[in-house]
């Protein structure tokens, strides 16, 4: 295990690479308002972040990552386009991974640029790839945008699509919803009973709480409408399964997705984005033919990625978390931007892990 | 060299625990005045009785300050992260039964299962601008239960008592609380979700793993376990 001083030195060297690539050096507070992170990630973040309490300002979290404060900073007063780099400690509870570090340095590079998102993806990936060069790491790439485009392209109601998109990062829930919407799971008994009643609210108990009778009536109406909705066809669920199971070298994956886009034209735009990204990666000297692509990659991480995603792994060290990770998070800028948004992509390296995979 | 057994310091839980041990030939009793938390043991050499609040027993066990303890399984699962890697459950004692359940207003006729709750959480957040609030004091158990089942867009709000009243008072939309009969829930116009059983709790005898005991303590423990017929 490297000493703290050595890790700091490594972090500084990595950050110098990012600075030389044109990034502005920024800092972020360690204590972040808990509410923002809870609203983004949900209650689950409490199991992963350290929560503390300010007697006046209320709940705070020790920053679990830099992305959120960096996006907030940029959305407030950032110039466009912008490139940022940061280096500092982040804090994560490790309840399930005994022995893993609960505080460690991340060095990051983030790009906010509207001009050419696939080129920005390639810029971030190739820069990080270069920084890791010689350590024998295996890169995995993916693209959340493809699965999301496939869901949007389903021949079903907007309500069902919204329900699936909401759970795109929770694979088990996503699967259960898909099985229900495609008729593979029976309608729950309680729902069948509800729908059989002419006026389910007639005999109801006294209404208490903030959720109003109108909201209950609205949902019953939505459930009634949904009961008449035909199941999602077998062809479409098979297509989703093929996308989720797709793992190949990038050129073969692209060819397979182009084939799928013939059955589902809604995929075409995201597949074209993938093609443009691969071309941009090739232009930056990445060996695209050897690059792994998994269409389901990045689904169960807690991050907010909605496009390109990647991770770098030490192949002979399955015990180690990824040495570097990153991705595109356009939607996050919209959520934090109060009505404004900007395409954004970035990644982080963990220098301590990188030093464990010495060349 | 003794082995310390922690038992809840008052009420039904203490009495039933004493009865359970007595039925297996180990006499436990409080000594001195009713206000003094001291105890005596008969029939189990080397065993020392410590009277503690039931809520503190999980922590004292995990820290190794007591070696055996009787408390509700709900308290152990809630208060000790990865409890099963730190202490052992020797036996359920068959009393102190209560269920931790998730309940919503009975007037929510459209909500019977977690699927419904998840959908309503999305609707509620869109309409009200904040995440649906679930009042509870069992934060870890409820959060792990909902995470495993993929429920989103909720928040836990702390409620240390009178939790059934929070919905009526509009400080929560749903609750997760301990119930033994469900009567209080019904009286407060709440209903349990069909798949809303989070944990079935009962008084349980826990112990430190032998690896954390001295040789002498381990011997006392083995003799006690044999005596109790476990």
Nearest CA-CA distance, residue A95 and chain B, Å:
7
**Between A188, A206, A218, which is nearest B107 by CB?**
A206
Residues B90 and B103 in one domain: no
What residues of chain A lie within 8 A of the CB of B82, using their CB?
Answer: 95-96, 98
Q: How many CB pairs under 8 A join A and B?
A: 111
**Between A38, A39, A204, which is nearest B109 by CB?**
A204
Instruction: Give me the residues of A, 200-259, that contact B with CB < 8 A.
Output: 200-201, 204-211, 213, 215-216, 218-220, 223
Nearest CA-CA distance, residue B22 and chain A, Å:
39
Which pLDDT does position A61 carry in this prediction? Answer: 97
Beta-sheet pairing, B174-179 with B98-105: antiparallel
Residues B144 and B74 in one domain: no
pLDDT at B34 over 80: no
Instruction: Give the Å distances, CA to CA, from A91 to A30, A32, A243.
Output: 9, 12, 34
Judged by CB atoms closer than 8 Å, whether chains meet at B105 and A209 is answered as yes
Terminal C-alpha separation, chain B:
23
Residues B107 and B195 in one domain: yes
Which pLDDT does position A317 carry in this prediction? Answer: 86
Determine the residue among B103, B110, B140 to mutate to test chain A binding: the one whose Cβ has the most chain A Cβ atoms within 10 Å: B110
Which pLDDT does position A302 carry in this prediction? Answer: 59
If you write DSSP's letter for every residue of chain B in order, what string do you get? --EEEEEESSHHHHHHHHHHHHTTT-EEEEESSTT--EEEEESSTTEEEEEE-GGGHHHHHHTTSSSEEEEEHHHHHHHSTTGGGT-EEEEE-S-S-EEEEEEEETT-TT--SHHHHHHHHHHHHHHHSSPEEEEES-HHHHHHHHHHTT--SEEEEE-SS-GGGTTTTTS-SEEEEEESSSHHHHHTTEEEEEEEEEEEE-EEEEE--GGGS-HHHHHHHHHHHHHTT-
Nearest CA-CA distance, residue B101 and chain A, Å:
18
Which residue matches tokens 């934060």?
A: B139
**Between B106, B107, B143, which is nearest A43 by CB?**
B143
Residues B89 and B107 in one domain: no
Are B119 and B153 in contact by the 8 Å Cβ rule? The answer is no
Are B135 and B171 in contact by the 8 Å Cβ rule? The answer is yes
Determine the residue among B62, B85, B150, B166 to mutate to test chain A binding: the one whose Cβ has the most chain A Cβ atoms within 10 Å: B150
Give CA–CA dist A244/A297, Å, rounded. 9
Give CA–CA dist A106/A89, Å, rounded. 6
Residues B156 and B70 in one domain: no
Q: Along the 359 residues of chain A, how does pLDDT read in single tens digits?
A: 789 999 999 999 999 999 999 999 999 999 999 999 999 989 989 988 999 999 998 999 999 999 999 999 999 988 999 999 999 999 999 876 667 899 999 999 999 999 999 999 999 999 999 999 999 999 999 999 999 999 999 999 999 999 999 999 999 999 999 999 999 999 999 999 999 999 998 877 899 999 999 999 999 999 999 999 999 999 999 999 999 999 999 999 999 999 999 999 999 999 999 999 999 999 999 999 999 999 999 887 756 899 999 999 998 888 889 999 999 999 999 999 988 999 999 999 999 999 998 77
Residues B210 and B185 in one domain: no
Which pLDDT does position B70 carry in this prediction? Answer: 98
Instruction: Give the Å distances, CA to CA, from A205 to A194, A201, A210, B105.
Output: 15, 9, 15, 8
Residues B210-215: what's their mean pLDDT? 94
C-alpha Rg value of chain B to the nearest Å? 21
Domains with residue ranges and CATH for chain A: 1-136+325-330+340-359 (3.30.930.10), 156-233 (no CATH)
Could you give the number of structural domains in chain B? 2
Give CA–CA dist A135/A120, Å, rounded. 24
Residues B152 and B105 in one domain: yes
Which residue matches tokens 């929070």?
A: B166
| Chain B residues within 8 angstroms (CB to CB) of chain A | 81-82, 85, 105-110, 112-113, 115-116, 118-120, 122-124, 127-128, 131, 139-140, 143-144, 146-147, 149-156, 167-168, 170, 172-173, 188-189, 191, 194
Judged by CB atoms closer than 8 Å, whether chains meet at A42 and B122 is answered as no
A35 and chain B: CB distance < 8 Å anywhere? no
Determine the residue among A38, A190, A226, A300 to mutate to test chain B binding: the one whose Cβ has the most chain B Cβ atoms within 10 Å: A190
Length of chain B: 230
Domain ranges, residue B217:
3-96+202-227
Which pLDDT does position A98 carry in this prediction? Answer: 65
Residues B103 and B78 in one domain: no
Given pLDDT bands bounded at 50, 70 and 90, which one contains residue B99?
very high
Residues B43 and B129 in one domain: no
Residues B56 and B82 in one domain: yes
**Between A44, A194, A210, which is nearest B110 by CB?**
A194
Which pLDDT does position A78 carry in this prediction? Answer: 87
Residues B23 and B70 in one domain: yes
pTM of the model: 0.92
DSSP-derived letter for residue A205 is P
For residue B127, what is the domain's CATH number? 3.40.190.10
Long-range contacts at B112-115 (CB < 8 A, ≥ 24 apart): B112/A188, B112/A190, B112/A191, B112/A194, B112/B193, B112/B194, B113/A188, B113/A190, B113/B193, B113/B194, B113/B195, B114/B146, B114/B149, B114/B151, B114/B193, B114/B195, B114/B196, B115/A176, B115/A180, B115/A188
Judged by CB atoms closer than 8 Å, whether chains meet at B105 and A219 is answered as no
Residues B155-202 have pLDDT tens digits of 999 999 999 999 999 999 999 999 977 788 999 999 999 999 999 999
Residues B40 and B133 in one domain: no
Which pLDDT does position B10 carry in this prediction? Answer: 82
Residues B35-87 have pLDDT tens digits of 667 788 999 999 999 999 999 999 999 999 999 999 999 999 999 988 999 99
């Amino acid at each position: 295990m490297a000493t703290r001083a050595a890790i700091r030195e490594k972090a500084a060297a990595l950050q110098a690479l990012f600075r030389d690539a044109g990034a502005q050096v920024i800092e972020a507070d360690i204590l972040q308002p808990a509410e923002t992170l809870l609203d983004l990630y949900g209650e689950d973040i409490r199991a992963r972040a350290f929560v503390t309490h300010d007697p006046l300002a209320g709940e705070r979290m020790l920053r679990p990552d830099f992305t959120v404060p960096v996006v907030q900073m940029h959305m407030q007063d950032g110039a466009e386009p912008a490139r940022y780099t940061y280096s500092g400690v982040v804090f994560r509870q490790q309840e399930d991974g005994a022995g893993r570090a609960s505080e460690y340095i991340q060095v990051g590079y983030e790009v906010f640029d509207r001009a050419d998102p696939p080129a920005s993806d390639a810029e971030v990936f190739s820069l990080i790839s270069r920084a890791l060069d010689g350590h024998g790491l295996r890169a995995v790439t993916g693209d959340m945008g493809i699965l999301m485009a496939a869901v949007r392209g389903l021949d079903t109601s907007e309500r069902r699509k919204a329900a699936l998109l909401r759970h795109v990062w929770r694979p088990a829930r996503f699967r259960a919803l898909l099985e229900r919407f495609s008729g593979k799971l029976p309608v729950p008994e309680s729902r069948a009973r509800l729908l059989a009643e002419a006026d389910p609210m007639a005999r109801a108990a006294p209404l208490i709480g903030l959720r109003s009778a109108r909201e209950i009536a609205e949902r019953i109406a939505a459930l009634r409408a949904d009961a008449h909705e035909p199941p999602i066809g077998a062809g479409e669920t098979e297509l989703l399964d093929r996308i989720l199971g797709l793992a190949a070298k990038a050129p073969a994956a692209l060819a397979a997705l182009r084939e799928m886009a013939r059955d589902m034209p809604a995929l075409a735009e995201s597949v074209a984005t993938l093609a443009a990204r691969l071309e941009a990666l090739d232009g930056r000297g990445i060996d695209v033919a050897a690059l792994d692509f998994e269409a389901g990659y990045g689904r169960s991480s807690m991050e907010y990625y909605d496009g390109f995603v990647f991770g770098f792994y030490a192949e002979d060290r399955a015990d180690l978390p990824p040495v570097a990770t990153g991705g595109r998070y356009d939607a996050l800028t919209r959520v934090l931007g109060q009505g404004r948004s900007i395409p954004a992509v970035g990644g982080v390296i963990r220098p301590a892990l990188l030093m464990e995979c010495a060349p | 060299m003794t082995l310390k057994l922690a038992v809840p310091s008052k009420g039904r839980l203490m009495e039933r625990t004493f009865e359970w041990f007595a039925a297996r030939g180990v006499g436990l009793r409080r000594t001195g005045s009713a206000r003094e938390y001291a105890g005596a043991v008969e029939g189990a050499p080397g065993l020392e009785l410590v009277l503690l609040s039931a809520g503190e027993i999980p922590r004292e066990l995990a820290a190794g300050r007591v070696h055996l303890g009787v408390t509700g399984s709900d308290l152990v699962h809630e208060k000790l992260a990865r409890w099963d890697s730190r202490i052992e459950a020797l036996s359920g004692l068959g009393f102190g039964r209560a269920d931790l359940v998730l309940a919503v207003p009975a007037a929510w006729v459209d909500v019977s299962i977690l699927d419904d709750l998840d959908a309503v959480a999305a609707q509620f957040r869109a309409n009200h601008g904040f995440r649906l609030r679930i009042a509870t004091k069992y934060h870890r158990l409820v959060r792990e239960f909902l995470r495993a089942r993929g429920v989103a867009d909720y928040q836990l709000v702390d409620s240390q008592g009178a939790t059934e009243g929070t919905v009526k008072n509009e400080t929560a939309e749903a609750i997760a609380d301990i119930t033994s009969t469900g009567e209080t829930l019904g009286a407060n116009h709440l209903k349990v979700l069909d798949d809303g059983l989070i944990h079935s709790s009962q008084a349980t005898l826990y112990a430190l793993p032998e690896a954390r005991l001295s040789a002498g303590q381990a011997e006392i423990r083995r003799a006690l376990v044999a005596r109790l017929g476990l």
